[in-house]
Amino acid sequence: MRTKRLTFHAFPSLAAALTLSVLLAVPSMAQQPQPGPKTVLVASGTVTGLYYPVAGALCRQMNQERPRHGLRCLVEATDGPVQNLAALRSGDVDLALIQSDWQAVAVRGEGRFSGTGPFKELRAVATLHAETITLLVRPEAEIDDLSKLKGKRVNLGPRGSALRNLSDLVIGAAGVRLPDDADMAPDVALAALCAGQLDAAFFAVGHPNASVMQATVQCGAVPLAVAGPGIDKLLSQRPDLTPADIPANLYPGVQEAVSSIGVAATLVTRADVPDETIREVVRVLLEERSELVEQHPVFNGLTRDTMADRARTAPPHPAAAAAFAATGPIQR
């Protein structure tokens, strides 16, 4: 009898133990950590520059759809294109904003990148706004075309800077020699122009631009067209340069668009960055452009065709190329 009682109680104990183990296991499985959003890092520029808010606007729009795509976009402030490309190459970031001329030298492994060689995995995502070569002249200097710069006091920018390289290209293409050119930083040149110490000064900026507004308002400076046969030939030789206009009615006294050229701000990535990440970036650029413009006017004027192909030298990321092509043929 005692054995029966022991046997009788043993089975319920075993059943209870099994039941308890299942009950304990269920919460344990329910409490398994769920995968969080995948972080997408975008290398931009200095917090006082233009690329930082541009990247911020893009990330802000992407993050609004995070429950759908599972991506968490973050902006990383940097010192500029050299740091951006190094971080992209090492895998520290997923996307980077750089000028189109930097894209070209990185692809070829030239200049600052001669030591590391060609960036073979660099891929283009989209071309954004133009950074227009803006040549401001004082009305009193009587400069109405590039040839009239000869003999004038002209600032080309600090030697070795990206601005200086662009200014030298323009002056060379126009066939103008400036033996006594200045090499001031843009902010110093702006003050010198308004003080009458310069007749003209080169800038490379996206429009609208606060410095250009200041020069037009405070000292009546006007933008001069960067155009002519020599400039056309330069554009044909340099795919990393692009035609660019200073839009009409942005600045006092500028009622018509002013022709120029420039480099373009480009968004680049690596070949191994997942397709779904790049598709979402391009979707935001194509479908949420009005929301981007509300955050920063530099997005105004972007078109699908220019974003897909303008001033591009790196191969496109396959997902970006497919996303642009899905909306129709690209007009080049």
Structure tokens at 247: 């839009």
Average pLDDT across the chain, whole number: 88
| 31 DSSP assignment | T
> In this predicted structure, what is the pLDDT of residue 326?
93
Percent of the chain with pLDDT over 90: 76
> In this predicted structure, what is the pLDDT of residue 34?
53
Bridge partners (DSSP) listed for residue 261:
243
Per-residue pLDDT at 1 exceeds 50: no
Q: 108, 83, 109: which is closest to 97 by C-alpha?
A: 83
| pTM exceeds cut of 0.85 | no
Which single residue is written with the structure tokens 């200097």? 141
Percent of the chain with pLDDT over 70: 88
> In this predicted structure, what is the pLDDT of residue 20?
37
Q: Are 228 and 146 within 8 A, CB to CB?
A: yes
pLDDT digits (tens, 9 = 90+) for 144-156: 999 999 999 999 9
| Residue 85 CA, distance from chain mean position | 12
Burial of 315 (0-12, 13-18, 19+ CB in 10 A): middle
CATH of 38-129+264-325, one of 3.40.190.10, 3.40.30.10, 2.40.30.200, 3.40.50.720: 3.40.190.10
| 317 DSSP assignment | P
> Interior CA angle at 175 toward 170 and 180, to 5°?
80
CATH of 131-263, one of 2.120.10.10, 1.10.8.10, 3.40.190.10, 2.60.120.10: 3.40.190.10
> In this predicted structure, what is the pLDDT of residue 16?
43
The pLDDT confidence band at residue 21, using thresholds 50, 70 and 90, is: very low
Per-residue pLDDT at 191 exceeds 50: yes
Assign 237 to helix, strand or coil: helix
Q: Which of 33-47, 78-92, 146-160, 240-254 has the lowest mean pLDDT?
A: 33-47
pLDDT digits (tens, 9 = 90+) for 129-183: 999 999 999 999 999 999 999 999 999 999 878 889 899 999 999 999 887 788 9
> In this predicted structure, what is the pLDDT of residue 11?
36
Boundaries of every domain in the chain: 38-129+264-325, 131-263
Per-residue pLDDT at 12 exceeds 80: no
> In this predicted structure, what is the pLDDT of residue 105?
94
Give, in order, the Cα–Cα distances in Å from 247 to each of 50, 59, 73, 132, 255.
Answer: 18, 27, 32, 11, 9
Distance CA 115, CA 109 (A): 8
Q: Which of 36-50, 67-81, 275-289 has the lowest mean pLDDT?
A: 36-50
Q: 161, 158, 94, 144: which is closest to 121 by C-alpha?
A: 94
Q: Which of 29-38, 111-120, 150-159, 277-286 has the lowest mean pLDDT?
A: 29-38
Distance CA 44, CA 299 (A): 16
Which single residue is written with the structure tokens 């972007």? 302
> In this predicted structure, what is the pLDDT of residue 26?
43
Q: Which of 3-7, 176-180, 272-276, 293-297 has the lowest mean pLDDT?
A: 3-7
| 316 DSSP assignment | B
Distance CA 138, CA 192 (A): 11
Per-residue pLDDT at 31 exceeds 70: no
Residue type, 309: D
Region 66-92: mean pLDDT is: 95
The pLDDT confidence band at residue 10, using thresholds 50, 70 and 90, is: very low
Distance CA 269, CA 63 (A): 19
> In this predicted structure, what is the pLDDT of residue 299?
93
Bridge partners (DSSP) listed for residue 268:
96, 124
pLDDT digits (tens, 9 = 90+) for 302-326: 999 999 999 999 999 999 999 999 9
Q: 75, 108, 41, 47: which is closest to 277 by C-alpha?
A: 41
**Helix 81-90 to helix 100-108 angle, to the nearest 10 degrees?**
50
Per-residue pLDDT at 14 exceeds 50: no
Equal CATH topology for 38-129+264-325 and 131-263? yes
Q: 68, 103, 65: which is closest to 85 by C-alpha?
A: 103
Classify the phi-psi angles of 241: left when phi > 0, otherwise alpha if psi is within -120 to 50, otherwise beta: beta
Q: Return the HEC string of 169-185.
A: HHHHHHCCCCCCCECCC
Where does the chain have alpha helices with state H? 2-30, 51-63, 66-69, 81-90, 100-108, 162-174, 186-194, 210-219, 229-237, 275-287, 289-295, 304-309, 318-325
